[in-house]
A and B are shown apart, each in its own frame.
Chain A
């Protein structure tokens, strides 16, 4: 195996083991994931997984660098400042935020993509533990 080639395909984040198993000594869900394998945790499970995860990031990078080359440094800086300003307003950490202003700035309010149809976060069945998430965010924990 070409180790150098694999390095570019590794998932960025450290794999998080699910604590959903029932016993105190189990950390791997055998029924849903099969036998534990390090390769499965490090390599992406589908060729599109990594590119989809980083899609918006990469698109933003490309657009901002083009904008910088055409219009100078201040244009992307100003846009990024607006993005950051608009991301300050969020709901409590365990609730999904609508991000309406961010959508407007990006132009997503006038487009429909798979992100709006599949896996809508406002209809997710899972939620973090409210008290603990708020305390973590406030730094009380």
Chain B
């Protein structure tokens, strides 16, 4: 309360001085010119405070996008309180895989979401829609994969409305990997993008730092070794749909978690 009245008194005296035409006192209130008005009891600083000189710049710029305000606070909290359990980003604990067959692409993922060793969700959806004939599986940090695929889906929809053409798998991959590269791997999303466009069926795997490869079959996630073992054993290029489905069931039987599979292709 005393702070508020203090500010008011100073403001009043300042207005009087301004009317009398004295310039020197105006610098006192310049400190408030670009200060965000958080609380009413903000006190103006004495005239020779060094912060005044910085305040004369429009220092308060509204920043869009990510804000790094709390990073130092979090780092010092971690340092000072060793017993503190900082909330971690949930990883998906996933196996995702995809393969290309003659007429299209098959993508598969398990539906288990874990928190370390406890199963949280038994029917979590990991195959995300991007375009009518393009789907994307996400592994890595769950939230990052989800947001990246959702933004990619929105951007592809806008892009296809703007160009008037159907979206291509290579475009989706490029949009995703440019976003991931911009954040230097801090957005921890590993994705398998697969779909059919006018150039045929394609399958790409994208890693969190922004690298990608175009492959006939691939697997990502914590269970990728087992999945890759089965796929390497049984994959043939240019398979028919029935045979590739058998490869798929072989993979399913190998792993322990519940499954879902999407088939992409001309006859989807």
Contacts and interface: CB of A to CB of B under 8 A. Distances in A.
Contact of B72 (A17, A24, A40): A40
Given A111-B155, A126-B36, A129-B37, A118 B45 contact: no
A20 interface: yes
Given A24-B46, A40-B72, A128 B64 contact: no
Contacts of B63: 53, 119
A48 B64 contact: no
Nearest to A93: B58
Interface string B161-195: 01000000000000000010011101000000000
Contacts of B59: 13, 16
A16 B55 contact: yes
B31 interface: yes
Interface string B50-72: 11001101011011111110011
A128 B34 contact: yes
Interface string B182-213: 11101000000000000000000000000000
Nearest to B150: A112
A129 B33 contact: yes
B72 A45 contact: yes
Contacts of A2: none
Given A16-B51, A17-B54, A119 B43 contact: no
A22 B26 contact: no
B21 to A, nearest CB: 13
Interface string A11-44: 0011111011011100100001110000010001
Contact of A115 (B6, B45, B55, B65): B65
Interface of A is mostly: loop
Interface in A94-132: 96, 110-116, 118-121, 124, 126-129, 132
Nearest to B72: A45
B260 to A, nearest CB: 27
Contact of B184 (A51, A115, A126): A51
Contact of B67 (A51, A119, A136): A119
Among A19, A96, A133, which residue has the most Cβ atoms of chain B within 10 A? A19
Given A40-B72, A126-B36, A113 B162 contact: no
Contacts of A34: 72-73, 76, 80
Contacts of A116: 64
A42 to B, nearest CB: 12
Contact of B42 (A13, A19, A124, A128): A19
A136 B33 contact: yes
Chain B, interface size category, equals 35 or more
A110 to B, nearest CB: 5
Contacts of B43: 19, 22-24
A51 B186 CA distance: 13
A48 B65 CA distance: 12
A52 B35 contact: no
A49 interface: yes
A14 B39 CA distance: 24
B33 A133 contact: yes
Given A19-B42, A119-B65, A127-B37, 10 more contacts: A13-B57, A13-B59, A19-B45, A45-B72, A48-B186, A111-B155, A113-B65, A115-B64, A129-B32, A133-B33
The 10 A-B pairs with the shortest beta carbon distances in the complex, nearest first, are A126-B36, A45-B71, A121-B62, A115-B64, A132-B33, A115-B65, A45-B72, A16-B59, A46-B71, A49-B68
15 contacts: A13-B59, A14-B54, A20-B38, A20-B42, A24-B6, A27-B51, A48-B184, A111-B155, A118-B65, A118-B66, A126-B37, A127-B36, A129-B32, A129-B35, A133-B34
